[in-house]
Structure 1
Amino acid sequence: MGTAIIVIILLLLCVYAGYSYRKKLRYGGGCCGEHDAMETKVKVADRNKKHYSYQVILSIDGMTCSNCSRRVENALNQQEGMWAKVDLGSQKATVLLKQPPDPDALKTIVQTAGYTVLSIQPSP
């Protein structure tokens, strides 16, 4: 009788572990988005780089996974006249702008997404 109870408990633990692993594969895991589906990528309507006269590079702190970089990229791409590409490895976002860059606005956009801008560098 005791062996049957132990086998049932082990079986339940295996089922729970399988469920948790499947959930982590589907929704991601780690620092953020553990219980949320991956955000869909926001695509910029104007994809002609010639229309963007300005470019800045943002150094961003706090991004640890692809969900983080997607969240920052989406926050920037939702703004009119901005086109951003975020590189998780270097912790930088390259932002193309149609208007002269406003450092305070860029910092606010990234902070609203939950991250911190460490520096803003104009790019040639």
Structure 2
Amino acid sequence: MDKVNIIIIVILAAIVFFGLKSYIKKLKKGGDCCPEHEEAIKSVKIKDRDKSHYPYEVKLAIDGMSCGNCVRNVENALNSLDGTWASVSLEDNMATVLLKNPPDIEKLSKAVDDAGYMVLKRKSSY
């Protein structure tokens, strides 16, 4: 087999892998994102709303969100972590996370992943 065929096979395998991973996550969440009969999800409250207490900022591109409940799921997952204040935009598929301590990107990504979504890209600024 030549190198071109191997590269094509690897790319196709990656596409299938990520597609299946996303599909399995949706099945675990109950298939359809937010059935009509499902009530809106309540937000986790942030106790400290003084932005000056959060010197670090991370932006996360999120895959898999399709409605307001998805946004709240991601926000709640991130806001449940100690010292974080997250806001999520469905329009941009982006989470902006303010942090009191230096960011632990793996911990943030795991929280999003555990909520059933995928972090595609990260950007830190401090």
TM-score interval for Structure 1 and Structure 2 normalised by the shorter chain: 0.7 to 0.9
Counterpart of 1:110, as a letter, is: V
Give yes or no for the alignment of 1:68 onto 2:70: yes
4+ residue segments displaced more than 3 Å: none
Unaligned runs of 5+ in 2: 1-30
Counterpart of 1:95, as a letter, is: V
Deviation of the 1:43 alpha carbon: 1.4
Aligned residues: 95
Task: Give me the whole-angstrom Cα distance separating, in 2, the residues matched to 1:75 and 1:61.
Answer: 15
Counterpart of 2:33, as a letter, is: C
SS at match of 1:85: strand
Give yes or no for the alignment of 1:88 onto 2:90: yes
Match of 1:111 in 2: 113
SS at match of 1:47: coil
Counterpart of 1:106, as a letter, is: L
Deviation of the 1:53 alpha carbon: 1.2
Which whole-Å deviations, capped at 9, do the CAs of 1:82-108 have from their partners, x for residues lacking one?
000000000000000011111110110
Match of 2:33 in 1: 32
Deviation of the 1:36 alpha carbon: 2.7
Identity rate, percent: 52
SS at match of 2:48: coil
Give yes or no for the alignment of 1:45 onto 2:47: yes
SS at match of 1:37: coil
Match of 1:97 in 2: 99
SS at match of 2:98: strand
Larger radius of gyration: 1
SS at match of 1:109: helix
